[in-house]
Amino acid sequence: MAGRKKDGDKIANIPSTANLAAMLPIVDSMAAAPGFMKLLGMSPDAISELKQCAQKLKDQASILTLPDEFNAQFANQGWIATGAMSADVMRNALAHSRDGNGEAAEAEILSWFTEDNIRLFAITRGKRFNKAQERYHQMVEALALYKEERYISAVPLILIVCDGLASDVLGTSPFEKDADLSCFDSITGHPTSLPTLIKLVTKGVRKSSDDALSLPMRHGILHGRSVNYASKAVCCKAWLMLIALVDWACDKADEEARRDRHATEQSETLLGSLSQLRKTQEDRRKLDAWVPVVLEAPFNQPLEPGSPGEAFHRFFSGWKAKNYGMMAAHAVNLTGKSPGAMAGELRRDCEFIELLEFDLVKIVQANQVCADVTLDVRGKTLNGPVEGRIDAMAVCYLPNGDPAMPTDDGGTWCVQQNCIYKVMHLDKPPEE
């Protein structure tokens, strides 16, 4: 078990959670005294709303201490709390551990590392931080290797991605001895989370060994000293490190804004703070409860407006018609290019890849944020005609470039432009 921390060192005491914890007894007392509230001039409806608010805050109070409890129990094993991980998974793992069933606890944690969760929280959210675009393809390849249980290849690739992504944000490798991974008001940037995990996996390895690893030891694996690391648990801990680094990078991006907000926290209302906590938990609940939607040709009904299916259809229709403005409206644009600039970029990308025909074959919406399409296409490149079947992916993005979570409004389904190059590499049609 990780060493005990002073109360002031707990995640529960970072500003965003400490404020809510401090409000709890105040709100509880107010809700328990309706007569006093009437004397203050509150209407019956306002008193009723306050009672409901207090009850919801009490129901969710355990969430505030959950990351501390999880890290205290599992951090030394390479499992840390992040903003992305399901609260239910952490809670269930803790229950198994308290019952003395370590295997069940680890199985519970491993169950969270599904293809959809990895793709959303590591790959899709991490894409905005890639200064080298090929890193995205490294992430996708690592996920493919993980799905095939080829952990011996997946683990080193994930570690390489971790190093590169964090170095782009930090300016130096996160595995350097004095790398500063702290982050104000951040679960992942707390000393008991990501910094602890990084310290665990950067211990030096002086000689080659066949001993089985329980952690993705960065130096030993990438320097060829530690060779017995090919297990699902080690691979998932590597994925967790990448997810934590993405969480940390997101928190770093608006760290100064959070500092400013903390400086004026007296102006924040109880309902505003509670609303943010409830939003995070509601997003997690809706992601966990989602049932994948699968649509297959023939599509007898029109594609629903605002759906990923409509985005796929408009993107490829725009490409076929050489209407690059239509394509741009449903293309990934993380750098905030103007519609005209985005259309110009797509025009250049498609200059030597003409789309002649396409048919949507299958649309799979894995969750509220990501969707995939399979389609048959026929095109023309500098080397002649091509045809075949490709896959494409769409993500629902907010205007600021963040993925639109289930409770967010204003998201737009955007198609990943790498599908353009998939058409380029299709085979020539068979000769008649």
213 with 346, same domain: the answer is: no
HSE-CB for 318 with a 13 A CA cutoff: 22
Would you say residue 389 lies in a domain?
Answer: yes
- Spatial contact of 158 and 221, defined as CB atoms under 8 Å apart: no
pLDDT in tens, 1-29: 444 444 446 655 545 555 555 555 545 54
Convert 249-286 to b/e letters by CB count within 10 Å (16 or more is b): bbbbeebeebeeeeeeeeeeebeebbeebbebbebbee
- Output the pLDDT for position 9: 65
Widest pairwise Cα distance in the chain: 89
Of the residues 266, 286, 306, the one at which a domain ends: 286
pLDDT in tens, 390-430: 999 999 999 888 889 999 988 999 999 889 988 988 888 88
Please give the residue that has the higher pLDDT: either 82 or 432: 82
226 with 302, same domain: the answer is: no
Would you say residue 431 lies in a domain?
Answer: no
HSE-CB for 411 with a 13 A CA cutoff: 20
Convert 354-382 to b/e letters by CB count within 10 Å (16 or more is b): bbeebebbebbbbbbbbbbbbbebbbeee
Residue 302: asked if its preceding bond is cis (omega within 30°), the reply is no
pTM (2 decimals)?
A: 0.62
Would you say residue 244 lies in a domain?
Answer: yes
Task: With a cut of 90, say whether residue 179 has pLDDT above it.
Answer: no
279 with 320, same domain: the answer is: no
193 with 246, same domain: the answer is: yes
Instruction: Give the residue numbers spanning the domain of 311.
Output: 293-424
Please give the residue that has the higher pLDDT: either 366 or 268: 366
Of the residues 286, 317, 350, the one at which a domain ends: 286
- Spatial contact of 403 and 395, defined as CB atoms under 8 Å apart: yes
Would you say residue 430 lies in a domain?
Answer: no
51 with 192, same domain: the answer is: yes
77 with 215, same domain: the answer is: yes
247 with 310, same domain: the answer is: no
Would you say residue 255 lies in a domain?
Answer: yes
315 with 211, same domain: the answer is: no
**In the chain, % of residues over pLDDT 90:** 46
Closest CA to 159 of 140, 182, 179, 139: 139
Q: How many residues does the chain have?
A: 432
Interior angle at CA 98, CA 96 and CA 103, nearest 5: 40
107 with 182, same domain: the answer is: yes
223 with 304, same domain: the answer is: no
- Output the pLDDT for position 279: 75
Mean pLDDT of all residues in the chain?
Answer: 83
Of the residues 286, 313, 332, the one at which a domain ends: 286
> How many domains is the chain partitioned into structurally?
2
Confidence of residue 131 (pLDDT cuts 50, 70, 90): confident
209 with 348, same domain: the answer is: no
pLDDT in tens, 221-264: 999 999 999 999 999 999 999 999 998 888 777 777 767 766 66
Across the range 119-141, mean pLDDT stands at 88
- Output the pLDDT for position 44: 61
